[in-house]
Structure formats: C-alpha cells, structure tokens
C-alpha cells in the first residue's frame, strides 16, 4: 500500500512534548475498492497499521530503532466497527493514539472520518511487544513517556468460538507472496479479506450492513506458502470464522461479525 498521505498534526503540545496522537489523511484508491465502488473493510486495518508506524516513526521509533534492539510489535487482537460506507476517492481523515499500556502490550485506537466529519469507522488494536527470541517482553518506560496512555485493566482481547460445525463453509487457501508484509507474515488486513470472502459466500448482504462489528484474534502468524483451511458459519445472528493450519490443525485466526451493534464506546 502506498496511500497518498498528508500530515495534519506533527506539532508539540503546550509543554513542548510530542502529541499523544497522530493525524493524517488517506485518499481511498481505485485498487483499495471493490466492485461496488466502496473501500474494502480491510482498508481500515491497513490504514490503522500504517498510522501506527507513522506515529512511531515521527517520535523516533522507526524500524531501525526496533531492529537495533531486537524488538517487534505484533497485532494480537482488534475490534473494528464500520459505521458508514466509504466511496472510492474519498479523503478520509485518520487519527491514531495509544489509549493504554500494560506490561507487554498496548492498545491503539484509530478513527476514520469522512470529509464532513462523519465517523466512518474505528478500530481498537491490541499490540504485543516481543524480543528477538519471539518471547513477550515488557514495554519500555519511554513508550509511556512519549506515547501517553493510561494503565490498562484486563488483558489482550480474546475471542472464544465453538467448535467448527460440520456444515460450515470450508475452503483451502495458501498464503501468497502479495499477502506478506515487511515482517514476512500474512498481513493482518489479509485475514479480514479472507474472512469476508468466506462470509460473502454464505450471505453477501451481510457485508453491506451498516453498522457492523468485527472482532478479530490473531493467534499465530501465517508464513509464506502456509496451507490453510478457512471455515465460516452462522450462529447467534452473526457469522463466525476460523482459520487453521491444514497440516498442524492449529488455529491461526478467529473472527466474528455482528450487524446489531451499539454506539461506539469512548476512546478510553
């Protein structure tokens, strides 16, 4: 993704400190839109990831900083709510901020507004910090100083799903080269595309409903060429999805889509 972006806010606050948020704008490109002329849902996840890296880099924590210390942020869970359709070529006003940090993880909130100020969608993303061995490691104190954020209660988001029913819509797929991100794993947004592809085979109209809520748990990374089984089914008025490794049987990704959602909560 190479969106045309324009920084809106990169100044310091009234105490000379960097702001706890980062804002920019994205023009929804032709290739980010579907046959209906609307931005794909995965676009919110792609922008949220890009915003996080822009914010981190602006504060001096770019890829080189992490590489020199053997540290990496990984997405473990996300909650995404779509509140309005976003037509192709729309200029979305996007904002990200760290709303909380706890031990080995942090929660970011991304909001996306149409040009008239209407909230088109928001996403809360839970990131965990790992070291060079792939083990969870504590978030350095400097992050709280630079990014702000309250002390979080609870733990990283989890999604409990029942066993995959025998009549679930199941299909095989593999992680292709263009699904990979700079970490060498399937990009988080690719999972959303796979999820919607499966739901669309069951009920295409579900993906047109407004508002709709996605709950996503990234259990394990999907490497290049990994053989996967994608299974989707309806239950409790919504749609559930499980992505497993065909060889090991391990869950890589679990997701849930509901269309009867409440008003979005506050950023905290």
Average pLDDT, the chain: 88
- Between CA 108 and CA 102 the distance in angstroms is 12
Helices (H) then strands (E): counts for the chain: 4, 11
220 with 159: CB under 8 angstroms?
no
Domain at 1-157, CATH homologous superfamily? Hotdog Thioesterase (3.10.129.10)
User: Domain-by-domain residue ranges, the chain?
Assistant: 1-157, 158-268
Q: Which residues contact 111 (CB under 8 A, 6 or more apart)?
A: 94, 95, 119, 121, 122, 267
Q: Which residues contact 102 (CB under 8 A, 6 or more apart)?
A: 151, 152, 153, 155
Q: What CA–CA distance (Å, rounded) separates 76 from 159?
A: 11
Strands 105-113, 119-130: pairing is: antiparallel
CB 120 within 8 A of CB 151: no
Distance CA 84, CA 81 (A): 9
- pLDDT score recorded for residue 8: 34
Single pTM value for the model: 0.88
- In the block, tokens 């994205």 appear at 26
pLDDT at 124: 95
Measured CA to CA, the distance from residue 80 to residue 212 in angstroms comes to 8
Domain formed by 158-268, architecture: Roll (3.10)
Tens-binned pLDDT, residue by residue, of the chain (268 aa)? 333 333 334 444 444 445 678 999 999 999 999 999 999 999 999 999 999 999 999 999 998 999 999 999 999 999 999 999 999 999 999 999 998 888 898 999 999 999 999 999 999 999 999 998 989 999 988 888 888 766 767 677 889 999 999 999 999 999 999 999 888 889 999 999 999 999 999 999 999 999 999 999 999 999 999 999 999 999 888 999 999 999 999 999 999 999 966 555 444 4
- Pair of tokens at residue 193: 């595309």
Distance CA 264, CA 266 (A): 7
């Amino acid at each position: 993704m190479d969106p045309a972006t324009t920084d809106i806010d990169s100044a310091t606050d009234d105490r000379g400190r960097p702001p706890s948020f980062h804002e920019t704008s994205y023009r929804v490109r032709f290739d980010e839109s579907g046959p209906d002329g609307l931005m794909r849902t995965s676009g919110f996840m792609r922008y949220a990831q890009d915003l996080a890296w822009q914010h981190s880099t602006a504060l001096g924590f770019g890829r080189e900083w992490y590489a020199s210390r053997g540290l990496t942020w990984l997405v473990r869970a996300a909650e995404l709510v779509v509140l309005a359709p976003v037509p192709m070529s729309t200029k979305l006003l996007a904002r990200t901020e760290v709303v909380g940090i706890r031990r080995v993880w942090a929660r970011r909130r991304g909001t996306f507004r149409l040009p008239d100020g209407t909230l088109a969608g928001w996403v809360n993303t839970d990131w965990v910090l790992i070291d060079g061995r792939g083990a969870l490691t504590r978030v350095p104190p400097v992050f709280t100083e630079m990014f702000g954020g309250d002390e979080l209660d609870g733990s990283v988001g989890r999604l409990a799903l029942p066993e995959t029913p025998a009549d679930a819509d199941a299909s095989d797929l593999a992680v292709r080269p263009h699904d990979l991100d700079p970490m060498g794993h399937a990009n988080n947004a690719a999972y959303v595309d796979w999820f919607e592809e499966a739901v669309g085979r069951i009920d295409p109209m579900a993906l047109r409903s407004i508002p709709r809520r996605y709950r996503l748990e990234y259990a394990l990374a999907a490497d290049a060429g990994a053989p996967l089984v994608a299974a989707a089914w309806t239950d409790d008025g919504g749609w559930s999805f499980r992505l497993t490794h065909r060889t090991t049987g391990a869950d890589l990704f679990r997701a849930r889509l509901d269309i009867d959602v409440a008003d979005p909560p506050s950023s905290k």
